[in-house]
């Protein structure tokens, strides 16, 4: 078996990256610079941990929950299924019930969110996962779910019920995926968060791998 193609489904991280309202932007400080006569280039980066493509850990919404350094990597590396959904509002259980979703699957949801510019203005009307859909995925006992905007949760939600349902039931959450040019199908996913102690999320470099069988 050989690698046929590697598809980068990560968003760029820069000072132009779309931010969740209230999050800090990205700042980079070059503290050593070859152009200035230094022996190397050396930078310091400041940014929020929920920027661009990222993984949420239970600590995000569960008191005493696991931080991102302690989450099982089995949720974020393995074979994944990409499903393209036509809904223009929320993803409901009825949108998922006819799909080939089974225990242990990593489920990546491609929606019209993929048409949004992730270096543009934040869009509050993105497609999200509603409570019944989250319950459906919990019942299916999937490993993780990913979506193509900055949250699985409705922007206007005030109780984070979708996040809590997933995280309390040991389901990994991947947000901010770039799936615009990814056809439906099964791929090998690698989406590994940084091993950040005491932190509730981490940016991740997510790639899908296609194999020649």
Reported confidence tier of residue 172, pLDDT bands at 50, 70, 90? very high
Residue 19: Cβ within 10 Å count: 18
Q: Is residue 95 part of a domain?
A: yes
Q: Is residue 179 part of a domain?
A: yes
> pLDDT by residue (tens digit) across 75-105?
999 999 999 999 999 999 999 999 999 999 9
Percentage of the chain exceeding pLDDT 90: 97
Q: Is residue 23 part of a domain?
A: no
| pLDDT of 7 higher than 90 | yes
> pLDDT by residue (tens digit) across 16-73?
999 999 998 999 999 999 999 999 999 999 999 999 999 999 999 999 999 999 999 9
The number of distinct structural domains making up the chain is 1
- Residue 170, pLDDT score: 96
Q: Is residue 203 part of a domain?
A: yes
Cα of 153 vs its chain's centroid, Å: 12
DSSP per position, 33-75: -GGGT-SS-EEEEE--TTSSSEEE-GGGTSTT---TTTS-GGG
Report the CATH number at residue 187: 3.50.30.50
Q: Is residue 152 part of a domain?
A: yes
Question: What's the pTM value of the predicted model, to 2 decimals?
Answer: 0.96
Local structure of residue 148 (DSSP, 8 states)? S
Torsion of the alpha carbons at 30, 177, 166 and 23, rounded to the nearest 10 = 40
| pLDDT of 213 higher than 80 | no
Active-site annotation holder among 50, 54, 60, 163: 60
The average pLDDT across 185-213 equals 96
3-state helix, strand, coil in the chain (%, to 5): 15, 30, 50
Q: Is residue 30 part of a domain?
A: no
Taking phi over 0 as left and psi of -120 to 50 as alpha, with beta for the rest, 141 belongs to left
Percentage of the chain exceeding pLDDT 70: 100
- Residue 21, pLDDT score: 96
Rounded CA-CA distance 72/173 in Å is: 12
Residue 60 a catalytic site member: yes
- Domain extent, residue 140, equals 2-18+48-212
Reported confidence tier of residue 1, pLDDT bands at 50, 70, 90? confident
Q: Which residues contact 181 (CB under 8 A, 6 or more apart)?
A: 7
Name all contacts of 30-35 with Cβ < 8 Å and 24+ positions apart.
none
Q: Is residue 26 part of a domain?
A: no
Rounded CA-CA distance 34/42 in Å is: 9
Q: Is residue 79 part of a domain?
A: yes
Cα of 157 vs its chain's centroid, Å: 19
């Amino acid at each position: 078996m050989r690698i046929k193609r590697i598809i980068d489904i990560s968003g760029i991280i820069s000072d132009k990256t779309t931010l969740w309202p209230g999050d800090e932007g990205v700042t980079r400080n070059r503290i050593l610079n070859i152009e200035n006569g230094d022996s190397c280039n050396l930078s310091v980066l400041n940014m929020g941990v929920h920027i661009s493509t990222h993984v949420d850990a239970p600590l995000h919404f569960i008191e005493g929950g696991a931080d991102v350094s302690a989450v099982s990597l089995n949720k974020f590396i393995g074979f994944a299924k990409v499903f393209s959904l036509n809904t223009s509002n929320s993803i409901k259980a009825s949108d998922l019930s006819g799909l080939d979703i089974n225990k242990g699957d990593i489920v990546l949801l491609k929606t019209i969110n993929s048409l949004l510019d992730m270096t543009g203005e934040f869009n509050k009307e993105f497609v999200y996962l509603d409570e019944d859909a989250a319950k459906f995925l919990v019942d299916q006992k999937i490993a993780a779910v990913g979506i193509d905007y900055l949250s699985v949760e409705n922007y206007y939600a005030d109780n984070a019920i979708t996040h809590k349902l997933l995280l309390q039931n040991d389901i990994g959450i991947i947000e901010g995926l770039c799936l615009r040019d990814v056809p439906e199908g099964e791929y090998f996913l690698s989406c590994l968060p940084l091993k950040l102690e005491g932190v509730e999320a981490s940016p991740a470099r997510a790639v899908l791998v296609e194999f020649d069988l």
